[in-house]
Amino acid sequence: MDRMLVVVFDTEPKAYEGKKALSQLEGEGSIVVYAYAVVGRNADGTTSVRQSDDPGPLGTLAGTSLGALIGLIGGPVGAAIGAAAGLAVGGTVDVDNARIGEDFVDDVREQLQPGKFAVVAEIQEDWTTPVDTRMEAIGGKVTRRALSEVNDTVNDEDVAAMKADLAQMKAEQAKAHADRKAKLQEKINQLDSKIQAQLEKSKQRRQAWKAQAKAKVEVVKAKAAAVKAKVKAGHN
């Protein structure tokens, strides 16, 4: 199962221990790590990335579920993502992109208090005991959530409501006087632009998530190939 994992620690060195533990668990075959970042919560509530995995098939954090979550953790004032990640995320990050509920974000914010650090990772795990046992042993507090199904459609009710308004305005414009027609046309154009923007947003989100899904497959293939090569080298 694909999950978002957040492990909170009291100090930055402990967070790096947590990151090392994730790598060890992956080496043991307990989990697959798609992407990770070590983050810190600043005094002003923003979040800074201290370390992240090297850009691979998933690319930078930008546009990923992990990047969206990090941005959301920063709260409404926005997140200051460190130069190490090459990413800046404001407070307008769409929670749908993170594919986790707002309650999960709230839980993480509550645990990741200013001055604390966390390993945030998108992983695949079949059972929770290996991660929990390893992280608890080094002082980490684990929070996880299964990633939701991709919602690649717009809010049908919102679009239907806007289209109904648009139809009404067009009907009204047909009967209006010349001076009123121009004003109504302006409103019609604005509303039509909003509808098109919603549809385009859905299209872009769908394309981004398809790309991420494909990249995850490549990550798993690459890791399997690396393990196979290591085993082969050991036999030679």
Neighbours of 147 (CB within 10 A): 16
Would you state the pLDDT for residue 199?
A: 79
Query: Within this chain, do residues 120 and 104 fall inside the same structural domain, yes or no?
Result: yes
Query: Within this chain, do residues 30 and 113 fall inside the same structural domain, yes or no?
Result: yes
Residue 119 and residue 51: Cα distance in Å, rounded? 9
Asked if residues 146 and 1 have their Cβ atoms less than 8 Å apart, the reply is yes
Query: Within this chain, do residues 96 and 141 fall inside the same structural domain, yes or no?
Result: yes
Query: Within this chain, do residues 168 and 218 fall inside the same structural domain, yes or no?
Result: yes
Question: Could you give the number of structural domains in the chain?
Answer: 2
Would you state the pLDDT for residue 53?
A: 66
Apex 153 CA angle, 157 and 159, nearest 5: 30
- Give the list of residues 6+ apart from residue 59 with CB closer than 8 angstroms, or none: 215
- Mean pLDDT, residues 108-127: 91
* 181 has pLDDT over 60: yes
- Mean pLDDT, residues 191-208: 78
Query: Within this chain, do residues 206 and 108 fall inside the same structural domain, yes or no?
Result: no
Query: Confidence band (pLDDT; 50, 70, 90) for 58?
Result: very low
Would you state the pLDDT for residue 149?
A: 54
* 139 has pLDDT over 90: yes
* 35 has pLDDT over 80: yes
Lowest mean pLDDT among 81-95, 117-131, 183-197: 81-95
Question: Which of the 8 DSSP states describes residue 9?
Answer: E
Query: Within this chain, do residues 71 and 129 fall inside the same structural domain, yes or no?
Result: yes
Domain holding 98, by residue range, is 2-149
Give residue 163's Cα distance to chain centre: 31
Query: Within this chain, do residues 51 and 120 fall inside the same structural domain, yes or no?
Result: yes
Query: Within this chain, do residues 137 and 157 fall inside the same structural domain, yes or no?
Result: no
Apex 126 CA angle, 120 and 131, nearest 5: 45
